[in-house]
Amino acid sequence: MNRKTSLLDYNLLVPFGLLMIVSVMNLYSATKGIHGVSDAFYRQLIWFGLGIPVMFFFAYVDYRMLKKLSFAFYVLTLVLVVLTVIRGRSAYGAQRWFSLGIFSFQPSELAKFSILLILANYFDDHWLEHGFGLRQLLVPLTYILIPFVLILKQPDLGTAIIVALIGISIILFSKIKIRTFFLLLTALIVIMPVGWHFMKGYQKTRLLAFVDPYKDPLGSGYHLLQSRIAIGSGRLTGVGYLKGTQSHLNFLPESHTDFIFSVLAEEWGFIGSMVVIALFTFIFIEGFTIARYAKDRFGVILAFGITASLTLQFFINIGMSTGILPVVGITLPFMSYGGTSLLLFMAEFGILLSIHARRSRFEEV
């Protein structure tokens, strides 16, 4: 135990700890209205409390045990997602939550983790030094496509996009042939118009609002415009902690979930926002460094996939909040409200610590 404790990655833990302090403070502000603090804040504190032992559990367990469980966990995730589509609890026009008495969780969040495990296992077992062709990618593409389609059925476009992007990033990291890359890129370009046809009406409206939010400022463009107002109001140093009018007076929708960054930017300003972005950046750099020095190929791919997943969600959420990307309902890791996602993020963080603790240079990747 002492040996493992000495190998804890403080380059990861220090920015993470600081980020958690900021996260709790910011969520308190985001959930504080004219009638007091919302129950969501106290529920999230409970999830934080549960997440810490989960993180250290995965940190001290050998991450290679996950390789044996990857397929079973993937199948379990698919079963839970299917059950959610059939009997899940609806909210905000989507059927994404599965209830077990007083406890509810979001199985689609598990899909992000399960796709990491199953692809890391597959590419570890089927590694090709000269790159993968289209035939060798049929199995991993199928692994990605199944949860992608099921999550779209809920419908949850944001999570489906993240699952697809995580899978694609791992495929690209595992090296594919140039010809295969351009074939897949061409297929994606051809499929995109077809995908538009199958999108829900409100999803199309959101994408169109991204192009011109002022066309419907009180409807489809409202979220984006209010987020921009909040961020712009913060200027250099912010309006002050707990003094943000956009969230406290309920002008900013989903301030504790999708637009948590806008709350931060309004109250802490450009300087505070850049500090938080820097903390995330330190975590991402260290995560990719852990991948570089992992002990085996499975650890390399898994650490890369976890870090890529966090990075993708970070950039998409910030892009949504600032208006450089469409609003697709993707939360900010560690900071947005959500118990299932927080527990999984902290479990993944623990896995990174586990890979670091057992590190040694792996030359074959």
Cα–Cα distance for residue pair 136/132, rounded to 1 Å: 6
Spatial CB neighbours of 104, under 8 Å, sequence gap ≥ 6: 89, 97, 98
Q: What is the side-by-side strand order in the sheet with 89-91?
A: 89-91, 94-100, 103-105
Residue 1, pLDDT score: 42
Tell me which long-range contacts 26-31 makes (C-beta under 8 A, separation of at least 24). Answer: 26/260, 26/263, 26/264, 26/267, 26/335, 27/256, 27/260, 27/335, 27/337, 29/241, 29/242, 29/244, 29/247, 29/248, 29/263, 29/267, 30/247, 30/255, 30/256, 30/260, 30/263, 30/337, 31/256, 31/337
Which is more confidently placed, 93 or 309?
Answer: 309
Q: Assess whether 117 and 52 both reside in one domain.
A: no
pLDDT tens-place string over residues 118-174: 999 999 999 988 889 999 999 999 999 999 999 988 878 889 999 999 999 999 999
Q: Assess whether 323 and 350 both reside in one domain.
A: yes
Query: Domain ends where: 149, 171, 199?
Result: 199
pLDDT interval class at 91 (50, 70, 90)? low
What is 181-199 written as a DSSP string? HHHHHHHHHHHHHHHHHHS
Domain extent, residue 195, equals 65-199
Domain presence at residue 7: no
pLDDT, mean of residues 50-77: 94
**Pairing mode, strands 32-33 and 36-37:** antiparallel
Q: Assess whether 214 and 188 both reside in one domain.
A: no
Domain presence at residue 153: yes
Domain presence at residue 3: no
Residue 59, pLDDT score: 92
Residue 2, pLDDT score: 44
Q: Assess whether 28 and 55 both reside in one domain.
A: yes
Domain presence at residue 145: yes
Domain presence at residue 331: yes
Specify the DSSP class assigned to residue 296: S
Cα–Cα distance for residue pair 238/270, rounded to 1 Å: 7
Q: Examine the pLDDT at 204 and tell me if it is beyond 60.
A: yes
Which is more confidently placed, 71 or 252?
Answer: 71
Q: Assess whether 301 and 176 both reside in one domain.
A: no
pLDDT, mean of residues 30-53: 86
One-letter amino acid for residue 307 of the chain: T
Closest to 247 measured CA to CA, from 22, 28, 26, 33: 33
Query: Domain ends where: 184, 199, 214?
Result: 199
Domain presence at residue 4: no
Cα–Cα distance for residue pair 241/230, rounded to 1 Å: 13
Closest to 170 measured CA to CA, from 110, 111, 109, 121: 121
Residue 209, pLDDT score: 79
pLDDT tens-place string over residues 282-319: 999 999 999 999 989 999 999 999 999 999 999 999 99
Query: Domain ends where: 199, 228, 254?
Result: 199
**Pairing mode, strands 103-105 and 94-100:** antiparallel
Domain presence at residue 224: yes
Which is more confidently placed, 48 or 88?
Answer: 48
Q: Assess whether 122 and 147 both reside in one domain.
A: yes
Q: Assess whether 277 and 213 both reside in one domain.
A: yes
Neighbours of 37 (CB within 10 A): 14
Our count of domains for the chain comes to 2
pLDDT, mean of residues 61-70: 94
3-state secondary structure of 264: helix
Q: What's the Cα-to-Cα distance from 240 to each of 23, 26, 196, 236, rounded to whole Å?
A: 16, 12, 42, 11
Beta-carbon-side half-sphere exposure of residue 357 (alpha carbons within 13 Å): 23
Q: Assess whether 220 and 333 both reside in one domain.
A: yes
R_g over Cα of the chain? 21
Q: Assess whether 166 and 238 both reside in one domain.
A: no
pLDDT tens-place string over residues 330-362: 999 999 998 889 999 999 999 999 999 988 555
Domain presence at residue 8: no
What is 88-122 written as a DSSP string? PEEETTEEEEEEETTEEE-HHHHHHHHHHHHHHHH
Q: Assess whether 195 and 205 both reside in one domain.
A: no
Spatial CB neighbours of 111, under 8 Å, sequence gap ≥ 6: 77, 81, 147, 151, 159, 163
pLDDT interval class at 5 (50, 70, 90)? very low
Closest to 181 measured CA to CA, from 141, 115, 132, 145: 132
Residue 332's region, left for phi above 0, alpha for psi from -120 to 50, else beta, is: beta
Record the tokens describing residue 60, joined without a space.
Answer: 């001290």
Q: Assess whether 78 and 182 both reside in one domain.
A: yes
H or E segment to which residue 37 belongs: strand 36-37
Residue 151 and residue 124 in contact, taking contact as beta carbons nearer than 8 Å:
no
Q: Assess whether 171 and 237 both reside in one domain.
A: no
